[in-house]
Structure 1
Amino acid sequence: MSDLAIPPGEYLEEVLEEMDITQAELARRMGRPPQAINEILKGEKAITPETALQLEQVVGVPAYFWSSLESEYRLVMATEADERKAEDEIDTASAYPYSEIAKLGLVKKTRKQLEKVKELRKFFGVSSLFNIQSVKEYAPAFRQVEKDTTSHEALASWLRAGHVIASKKEVEQFNKLKLQNSIPKLRQLTFETEPNLLLQKLSKLLAECGIALVLIPHFSKTYTTGATYWIGKHKAVIMMSLRGSWSDIFWFSLLHEIGHILLHDKRITFLENASKDNQYMSQETEADSFAQKTLIPESEYLSFLDKAVFTRKSIHDFSSEIGIFPGIVTGRLQYNKKLPHTSNFHRVRFKWKEA
């Protein structure tokens, strides 16, 4: 396709000169008003399929040729108009973390502002960046309320990046019973302290249950640990930002997201710290409770608290009894203010590989 918009009427004018036919004569032969022919020659009026057929009958040039010329001309004109609209979106594009998206290979690396606008449109699947906020998929990002400095655009970008990556992951059809039955295996995996090996095992186990696990480093000013949503009816997605490095926090966050999948509506995107309405907060509390009780059974934990002895050895012994990594017990004790944050018995930090 040519980048130069040439109206088909210009070629028609050349054909009429060669045939020594005036506009008025062409109008009479086609049974059309002279004004209509004049507008076609100037490119002001489109050559419709009906007009193309009439031109074929009168001047002998095939109808498909006229239709092709007209289509190409209108497309070039539309492209030029879109370029002008894209220029109006440059300021809007600057609010999105382009370089961070580019690091994931989801948009081209470029310094050209217009090209960034076009790449972001393709990335978000919109015809204009002004449409992003009205798209259901990104709406939770624009309701995020954790901090006044939260970048809703960065959060929408993080969510979209997860969606794009998760869409390419092959997983089994979601099976709720299979996920429930995998809980003991998940608890056993808490003992794996090599993070990248852990992620391989976790991804495989969750994929067998119908969950795509997507781990993307948090984008600047997103302030979130995770998100849960569905792609279709049979594929759940858990996104984690790897924000923070303590293994016990990672496991609590993961089980929190699994709680959403098992307990709550598929139609809702659960973005941590996103909303403060009563229903959402109630569901967050339920997911928290699920994570706590799954990692450390409530009755056993209460019995352990009654003993009020929280040493390195007692934590290790209790963890062995319930089959969970001891650092998780320490984290729970610190959360419940039973142990100071300076006493990090058995806690480990993960060193995540850069994406």
Structure 2
Amino acid sequence: MTNKYYEFTPDYAVPPGATILELLEHLNITQAQLAERTGRPKKTINEIIKGKTAITPETALQFEKVLGISANYLLRLEANYQETLARIKEKKSLEQNIEWLKNFPIKEMIKNKWIRECKDKVEQLDELLKFFGVSSVDAWDSIWRKYQVLFRKSNIAKTNPYAIASWLRRGEIEANNIDCLPYNKDKFKEVLFDIKNLTTTSPEVFVPQMQMLCAKAGVAVVFVKEFKGVPVSGATKWLSSEKALIQLSLRYKYNDHLWFSFYHEAGHILLHDKKSLFLETNETSETNKEKEADRFAANFLIPQRDYIEFIKKFDSRNISRNAVISFANKLRIAPGIVVGRLQHDRLIPYSYLNDLKVKYCWTDEK
């Protein structure tokens, strides 16, 4: 036989006064007599019985002497009663915000095991608030409202600001599980060179290595799967003054995009302030800071002097596969990165040399 346990959350609260009343009846003591024996006003005793006045530690000790019931037990009854009252009040508040749930990609979040599935909508809303680490819808708004304009500007037709907030929050949660040394700008610059040598390796190799190297410099790197409403390749955010977050997706699937996104976000950390959130989407390259991060990524992966010397030898008709591979080997980077740069600069067609790019996919897509 299998024992099953069910969680029971009552929608009513029983005051500890009910237990006291039963005990008074058992001992043949009236409320007036209890008031006299404890030195409490009759009104106070009556309000305690009805649950209108809380049992204080001092009162609990007095009841212990008169009624022979443990003060600790009475105080636990009082604590449970107050907690139940608070939960009932909170449930009523949540019920008024059920429609708010519809803003979020709940099915995707459940599928990705970010939150558990709840049959009751109030419980589902409570689960969502726990995911965001906030106590109420108003608290959520106060934290995320400042990012809403940025979310909407990124790509009005396809962006769901609530989906992006969910994606970013998942990154924060994963980053909090990464132990990092305090941020060190010089150390971070140093590890970026080491990481560049990993561009020729597989994700199984470079992901743990880049996470470990960046953590030593105070930067947490996380990969969070993209989904509908989140047209974001990467994001940068400071979790504290000593810990930065680089969050990446596999939105474009290929290595040139992924590595450019990583160094683009690294550029934000090195070049820009610690108060801003930076999102990399289709339409974020128009601002000065985004252009600066673009230049940083492009020139870090392929130094400008080397790039100019390479392209001046060719025109779009004779940049060969072997030439690209040889140049990439010289720089010790993946050939696909060179192809992506040449395509972006319109020096070769977007249909040319794509076989040199490496496609990435999430484990559950293999």
> Is the contact between residue 49 and residue 67 of structure 1 (CA under 8 Å) also seen in structure 2?
yes
Give the match's secondary structure for 2:352. coil
**For the residues of structure 1 that align with 2:93 and 2:282, how far apart are their CA atoms?**
32
**Which residue pairs with 1:78 in the alignment?**
86
Question: How far 1:346 sits from its partner (Å)?
Answer: 5.2
Q: Which amino acid aligns with 1:191?
A: T
Determine if the alignment matches structure 1 residue 344 to structure 2 residue 353.
yes
Q: 1:316 to 1:60 in 2, by over 3 A?
A: closer
> Is the contact between residue 231 and residue 282 of structure 2 (CA under 8 Å) also seen in structure 1?
no
| Structure 2 residues not aligned, in runs of 5+ | 1-7
Selected match of 2:344 from 332, 335, 342: 335
Determine if the alignment matches structure 1 residue 143 to structure 2 residue 143.
no
Q: 1:201 to 1:58 in 2, by over 3 A?
A: closer
Q: Which amino acid aligns with 1:324?
A: I
Q: 1:296 to 1:346 in 2, by over 3 A?
A: farther
**For the residues of structure 2 that align with 1:65 and 1:333, how far apart are their CA atoms?**
75
Question: How far 1:172 sits from its partner (Å)?
Answer: 4.3
Q: 1:142 to 1:67 in 2, by over 3 A?
A: farther
Selected match of 1:114 from 102, 116, 122: 122
Q: After superposition, where does 1:303-322 map in structure 2 within 5 Å? A: 303-310=309-316, 311-312=319-320, 313-322=322-331
Determine if the alignment matches structure 1 residue 182 to structure 2 residue 188.
no
Give the match's secondary structure for 1:94. helix
Give the match's secondary structure for 1:82. helix
**For the residues of structure 1 that align with 2:138 and 2:238, how far apart are their CA atoms?**
25
Question: How far 1:160 sits from its partner (Å)?
Answer: 1.0
The Cα offsets for residues 97-127 of structure 1, whole Å up to 9 and x where unpaired, read as 2232233333223443233212212111111
> Is the contact between residue 246 and residue 347 of structure 1 (CA under 8 Å) also seen in structure 2?
no
**Which residue pairs with 2:170 in the alignment?**
161
Identity %: 36
Q: After superposition, where does 1:1-355 map in structure 2 within 5 Å? A: 3=10, 5-135=13-143, 139-140=146-147, 143-144=150-151, 145-148=153-156, 149-192=158-201, 194-273=202-281, 281-310=287-316, 311-312=319-320, 313-344=322-353, 347-354=356-363
Question: How far 1:293 sits from its partner (Å)?
Answer: 0.9
> Is the contact between residue 116 and residue 127 of structure 2 (CA under 8 Å) also seen in structure 1?
yes
Q: 1:274 to 1:87 in 2, by over 3 A?
A: farther
Q: Output the TM-score relative to the length of structure 2.
A: 0.84
Q: 1:300 to 1:6 in 2, by over 3 A?
A: same
Moved more, 310-319 or 116-125: 310-319
**For the residues of structure 1 that align with 2:95 and 2:9, how far apart are their CA atoms?**
21
**For the residues of structure 1 that align with 2:305 and 2:140, how far apart are their CA atoms?**
47
Moved more, 170-179 or 34-43: 170-179
| Structure 1 residues not aligned, in runs of 5+ | none
Q: 1:182 to 1:64 in 2, by over 3 A?
A: closer
**For the residues of structure 1 that align with 2:226 and 2:212, how far apart are their CA atoms?**
23
**For the residues of structure 2 that align with 1:14 and 1:284, how far apart are their CA atoms?**
71
> Is the contact between residue 238 and residue 257 of structure 1 (CA under 8 Å) also seen in structure 2?
yes
RMSD (CA atoms) = 2.9
Q: Which has the higher contact order (CA 8 A, sep 6+)?
A: 1
**For the residues of structure 2 that align with 1:246 and 1:59, how far apart are their CA atoms?**
75
Q: Which amino acid aligns with 1:241?
A: S
Give the match's secondary structure for 1:135. helix
The Cα offsets for residues 267-306 of structure 1, whole Å up to 9 and x where unpaired, read as 333222599899xx33222211110110111123233344
> Is the contact between residue 175 and residue 245 of structure 2 (CA under 8 Å) also seen in structure 1?
yes
Question: How far 1:72 sits from its partner (Å)?
Answer: 1.4
Give the match's secondary structure for 2:110. helix
Q: Which amino acid aligns with 1:289?
A: R
